[in-house]
Structure 1
């Protein structure tokens, strides 16, 4: 196959969903180039479901035939070289996942609910203090600080490190600020998290870092120092950046899709439906690397050779008319999806899915309840998308709030 026959995935595309429509029309598995890496793209719902659960596809990078020629320093490179449970399989994956599963039990999450509601209330108060007739960036001022503070609380980030950590994570979440998301910035974030972990070793508390230190001493779930660090880094970044995108995208949909917000305010549809429909219709993740063929296999009539990588196209699968019908491109709260794949499927299903759902539902309920006259401050087509293959959202979400409800 020649490079000319491949789709080039553009991280800065102005219309991700139009790109994905063309990919779906090209086939269930489409040859693409992503950040200089040739790969197959799983474009349709059924194909992606097969890819996520296929016994002869693995996330372990040792199975990637061209791994040594992959460009360094890219978003794909950061993901595929991660040494946490993200890229582990089998018993190793279960061992690493078990070590953190306790942080996401229903009991632990219900314990977080009052804190999430309290933090959301403080953010609403801060928004209400702003001029009601002037645009405010709801990504920066609302969608971002909520999950950032929640994951900091869950993990156990000491107050003395939060300002510096937040400055670095601002760049990762693309919410403005003076820093860009570069390999150097990622290194600084890596080093700072290392300092935090070292500090928490001597100051245990009711948090995930303390839990992991305790688990290191228990037979069967021992974590090496490198594994502990990789796990904390994964949970901190993945634990809030994708939720920022979820809340941002949901706000955008409810502000711009006619009649949908009225369904929520009238009580005809619950806010949980808005969360699930956003996850389907505008997935927080665009493309996610990689799964590798362990041996030669065939999926949906496409022959894959051992060692070839596959990219998961979550945003594309969510609008697949072959699964959701001809109205798949419409945001419709009256028929929320019975299923979607935005949190993955199978053993690698997102551990933080219940937390993301809880945060988004609390945030949307509070925001649209507090500001009955809220309106978009710019049309969707004028908003700049994230300049990354991984995340699907906009850099800003400007809105005019209007007066707070009484």
Structure 2
């Protein structure tokens, strides 16, 4: 028996995987209901996702290709309006997307990312030193004390964000993925976030430094056609948010998976598996981004036998894609770092592949290796079922990750 169609997405994101399974029951591409009663398509099958992510007939620009938005049927009262108002890589198409991608993509080549390794290692060591100084009998929220600050410090250092401003500037990205907030809160967040970034960019014009934001400002002044002020702000929005949010989930999800599957962790310790195996399997079975808005059909398109009309919105359901039984069989839901096929699309694909992928993988590898070397007897502080989800259908993470730190058995 098929599940209700369309599936109304749970704004609390209380059970991402059960919801993904319900969506998949209706097919690899099926309709879902977004907050505000807006209908969209959810792409939950890996084969269909490959097509959507590589097909130029799908745009990310709502201001050009979302017909209902252009006709006023979707307005400022839409609870996910923040994903429409942003002006960056997540909302651009064609030549605009290529133009916006280029200035930052060069900073994340494998060579440049490898040069960042010592800085990432120092950050991890410093955070672990702080954890080691805490009482070992008291629970510690590893997400708040390690998984989040590691990538946030690295990305903020890279873009030259002053330490005293980091918490507030990153807060905009955290609110933007909260699917439980109202339309008014979403719009106010984008406005506040935009103003913060404008002020930050102006500070870099006045006092440039050895950071990527200063480089972007200098490039804009040399050639104003590269980035408008709005695009500059939007670029910083997406780089700071995606440089933090998915990576913290990847690290936390991997730690949680290993602590609830100790036999898998033992394989890494016995050199029968690698940290890369852990990371790739975590990305597959616990994609850090669950249900990403938006794509829009620029013309009528058929995907896996389903006709998508021009202007229809789509969400890519990365959490469901990684567990596609057509690809991973009956064990698709099982965390198994020894499986041969760990295929996933958690970083996207082709021209829309996440440009920060090399850095994210490096941060996760350093974070996990260093954590379990320092605390080889790390355990959860509460039963696994008491740890709640992050509280959004856009991200797939944990609300907290309470652990007990044990350097010795």
TM-score, with length taken from structure 1 = 0.91
CA shift for structure 1 position 267: 1.7
Residues of 2 paired with 1:390 and 1:92: CA distance? 25
How many Å apart are 1:77 and its aligned residue?
Answer: 2.1
**Deviation (angstroms), 1:264:** 1.2
The one of 271, 275, 300 aligned to 2:275: 271
- Structure 1 gap segments, 5+ residues each: 175-180
Among 233, 248, 253, the residue aligned to 1:249: 253
Tell me which of 304, 307, 311 is aligned to 1:303: 307
Aligned: 1:238 with 2:242: yes
Q: Cα distance 1:221–1:114, how it changes in 2: closer, same or farther (>3 A)?
A: farther
Give 1:193 shift.
2.2
- Map of 1:16-95 to 2, 5 A cutoff? 16-36=16-36, 37-61=38-62, 62-67=64-69, 68-70=72-74, 72=76, 76-95=80-99
Please identify, of 347-356 and 106-115, the stretch whose mean Cα deviation from structure 2 is larger.
Answer: 106-115
Deviations 1:195-232 (A, max 9, x none): 22111112222211111122224459621111111111
CA–CA distance in 2 between the matches of 1:254 and 1:74? 39
Q: CA deviation at 1:163?
A: 5.3
Shift of 1:72: 3.6
Q: CA separation in 1, counterparts of 2:77 and 2:127?
A: 35
Distance 1:344 1:75, change over 3 A: farther
Matches within 5 A, 1:3-402: 5-36=5-36, 37-61=38-62, 62-67=64-69, 68-70=72-74, 72=76, 76-162=80-166, 164-165=168-169, 183-219=187-223, 222-335=226-339, 337-402=341-406
Shift of 1:87: 1.9
Change (3 A) 1:346 1:23: same
- What is the alpha-carbon distance in structure 1 between the residues aligned to residue 189 and residue 87 of structure 2? 19
Summarize deviations over 1:236-274 as a string: whole Å, max 9, x none: 112111111111111111111241111111121111111
Q: Check conservation: 1:172, 1:241, Cα contact below 8 A.
A: no
Maintained 8 Å contact 1:285/1:314: yes
Give the conservation status (yes or no) of the 8 Å contact 2:246–2:289.
yes
In structure 2, relative to structure 1, the CA distance for the partners of 1:241 and 1:265 (3 Å cut) is: same
State which drifts further: 70-79 or 349-358. Answer: 70-79
1:186 CA drift (Å) = 4.5
How far the C-alpha of 1:56 sits from its partner, in A, is 1.8
| Pair 83,169 (structure 1): closer, same or farther in 2 beyond 3 Å | closer
Q: CA deviation at 1:69?
A: 2.9
Give the corresponding residue for 2:181.
none
C-alpha distance in 2, partners of 1:162/1:40? 35
* Shift in CA distance, 60/163, structure 1 to aligned 2, threshold 3 Å: closer
SS in 2 for 1:325: helix
Q: Which runs of 5+ in 2 are unaligned?
A: 179-184
SS in 2 for 1:292: strand
The alignment partner of 2:130 has SS state of helix
Aligned mates of 1:9, 1:59 — CA distance in 2: 21
Q: Which moved more, 1:288-297 or 1:134-143?
A: 288-297
Aligned mates of 1:119, 1:75 — CA distance in 2 = 36
Q: Distance in 1 between matches of 2:305 and 2:14?
A: 31
Change (3 A) 1:336 1:202: farther
**Which whole-Å deviations, capped at 9, do the CAs of 1:149-192 have from their partners, x for residues lacking one?**
00101111124433544666676688xxxxxx865444333322
